[in-house]
Amino acid sequence: MPEFVRVEKDPTHPAVAVVRLDRPKMNALNAQVQREIGAAAEEVAADGSVAAAVLYGGERVFAAGADVKEMADMSFADMSAHSRVLQDCFTAVARVPKPVVAAITGYALGGGCELALCADFRVAAEDAKLGQPEIQLGIIPGAGGTQRLPRLIGPARAKDLVFTGRHVGADEAERIGLVDKVVPADQVYSAAVEMAARYAGGPAVALRAAKEAIDRGLETDLDTGLEIERGWFAGLFGTEDQKAGMRSFVEQGPGKAEFTGR
């Protein structure tokens, strides 16, 4: 059984899975937590009853970063092996074939920020702080911060955060596109769940296709991205949801289709 990361169903929206980090005091992301995050992502991905997921560290903090005490005495050989595991666990979150929302309270720093970057959307508390402070330790981000961050906010802004290691408040994070919504701290969880719940009852295969087409397309050239899109677009005409959606549109007008996720 996992010790620090568990997957729960939200009681008001059972189609929303909540990946709950719970390693007091600051949800430091040691090797065990990293592995448990990867396992939780695989569980969410495989559960057909889950339409979307929320990453949540609790009311106090999302995740204040990696466990520096654990890393401080590692050698190059040690970290060369461990960094692959670290990236693989976070990539498992990014590749969950369903919408994922990060609910950010307190701090999302270093690995915590990188975990939030693996989500599709980010909801932050008004007093939240985000950043990539690894440069202050004499290193660089190692769980996607130099790659996912510039893809999200642009290279110049990403370099500012990575080069300086400075923390940004929620307002600035929203302004530069690092977070999508800012709410009072006591509303972060509910706002994230409501955002995720929008996808319950949706066309699950089409949502998976849309996410993969966008994410994979960002990693390649336009022509290859268009081929990815075309393959998924044509393939969706083999789903029950496509038949139901178009039949409903013709007979009842837009927005009335009932999907089965098949």
How do residues 151-160 score in pLDDT, each as one tens digit? 999 999 999 9
Domain edge (last residue) among 165, 197, 229: 197
Q: What are phi and psi of 191, to 5 degrees?
A: -65, -40
222: containing domain: 204-252
Q: Same domain for 107 and 226? A: no
Statement to judge: residues 55 and 112 lie in one domain: yes
Identify the domain boundary among 197, 221, 238.
197
Residues with catalytic annotation?
A: 66, 111, 114, 134
Residue 257 within a domain: no
In a domain, 258, yes or no: no
For residue 121, the one-letter residue type is F
Same domain for 208 and 193: no
What are the phi and psi torsion angles at 143 (to 5°)? -120, 30
Measure the CA–CA gap between 44 and 97, rounded to whole angstroms: 9
**pLDDT at position 143 over 90:** yes
Query: Which amino acid, residue 197?
Result: A
Regarding pTM above 0.85, the answer is yes
> Which domain-ending residue is among 197, 213, 239?
197
Residues 216 and 241 both lie in one domain: yes
CA pair distance 242, 240, nearest whole angstrom: 5
Q: What is the pLDDT of residue 255?
A: 85
Within this chain, do residues 76 and 172 fall inside the same structural domain, yes or no? Answer: yes
Note the pLDDT tens digit of each residue in 186-196: 999 999 999 99
- The crossing angle, in degrees rounded to 10, of helices 76-94 and 31-46 is 30
Angular region, 154: left φ>0, alpha ψ -120 to 50, beta rest: left
152 and 208 share one domain: no
Q: Looking at the structure, do residues 233 and 146 belong to the same domain, yes or no?
A: no
What local confidence, expressed as pLDDT, does residue 47 receive? 96
Is the pLDDT at 83 greater than 90? The verdict is no
